[in-house]
Structure 1
């Protein structure tokens, strides 16, 4: 709908609103014919301004797509995508066969599939003055983590200390750069005389 169509349609609807306010039991047939002509004019302008077909669904992505009455937005395409995402397959690449999951006697240490597999990560951390905090995404290699910390130390706002933590089954500090102890200095408050 362009601006001219919008203005014309708004004007026609305002005229119809004025007719609605003036309706009463004493309304003459000539006035009813005038209302009918104004109503037809508004409907014609509305038909000219509508360029797309009537939406069949409440889906903003597929407004004229196929309809599924059981879907919350009536869209068959989106509902099919949602159903496919929620249904796990019986056998996929990441899960062992169903028969392999069954264990007759359970060990006191648990089943291997129940425990998560350890992930080896090299975690870069920085000293913020009170505690160690993560300063980047965990890396898969030690060299990559050390290169990242070297780049961090070259920045203008570098922390006082950095370290790399090897996170495998336990967390082990591998290497530390800088000093975490800040010398205790008296606090000075500067006042300006204006």
Structure 2
């Protein structure tokens, strides 16, 4: 329904509401015929503005598709697709190694594996007059880091310059007390 249809149907329904407020037990028959004509006009406008058929299923993909009463969403097309899918083979799960059979839960920090996944960070830095220095926590989201820098620039003692450094690492960084050293991942399994 476009905006013009919405305005016309709304106006017709408001007119019917006004008729309903004025309706009493001694309303003349001429007014009742006028209400009937307005009601028929509102129904015709509503029927013209509805562009699709009434949904017959609860399926968002096929709302007007064929009906299967035994399907959970009443959609025959989706139920046929579900029935045609091959069942999972039970013997494949038993042959798989125990690590592959265990259920892994998706976490914000990912899954620890034999080799770590590359890390992507956005590091906010500020210019202190001589060098660039870290001015906040490295973030995973670029827009969040940009919002942090925008907030830093609004402070009364803001630095003269800020920058975002895109840090993409595919190695493990070991923290030391001198200068940071990057330890390359080993080829075999790591002990923790």
Counterpart CA distance in 2 for 1:86 and 1:16 is 56
Residue 108 of structure 2 corresponds to residue 116 of structure 1: no
User: Aligned partners of 1:14, 1:38: CA distance in 2, in Å?
Assistant: 11
Q: How far does residue 24 in structure 1 lie from its aligned partner after superposition?
A: 2.5
8 Å Cα contact 1:58/1:73 also seen in 2: yes
Cα shift at 1:84: 4.2
SS of 1:123 mapped into structure 2: coil
Quick one: structure 1 residues 70 and 22, their matched pair in 2 at CA, closer, same or farther if it must change by over 3 Å? farther
Change (3 A) 1:6 1:75: same
Instruction: Provide structure 2 residue ranges, at least 5 long, that are not aligned to the other structure.
Output: 101-112, 120-168, 174-179
Q: CA RMSD in A?
A: 3.6
Q: Which runs of 5+ in 1 are unaligned?
A: 97-111, 125-133, 137-147, 153-158, 174-194
CA distance in 2: counterparts of 1:78 and 1:160, whole angstroms: 56
The structure that has the greater radius of gyration is 1
Match of 1:95 among 80, 92, 98: 92
* Counterparts of 2:54 and 2:39, CA distance in 1: 21
Distance 1:61 1:149, change over 3 A: closer
Change in 2 beyond 3 A, CA 1:165/1:122? farther
Deviations 1:104-128 (A, max 9, x none): xxxxxxxx8374378xx8614xxxx
Is the Cα–Cα contact under 8 Å of residues 115 and 185 in structure 2 kept in the other structure?
yes
Q: Between Structure 1 and Structure 2, how many residues are aligned?
A: 125
CA 1:164–1:48 in 2, change beyond 3 Å: closer, same or farther? same
Instruction: Provide the C-alpha distance between the structure 2 equivalents of 1:66 and 1:48, rounded to a whole number of angstroms.
Output: 24
Higher relative contact order (CA closer than 8 Å, sequence separation 6+): 2
TM-score by length of 2: 0.51
- Gap change, CA 1:76 and 1:160, over 3 Å in 2: farther
In the superposition, the TM-score normalised over structure 1's length comes to: 0.51
Alpha-carbon shift at residue 43 of structure 1 (Å): 1.1
Tell me, yes or no, if the aligned pair for 1:122 and 1:164 is still in contact at 8 Å. no
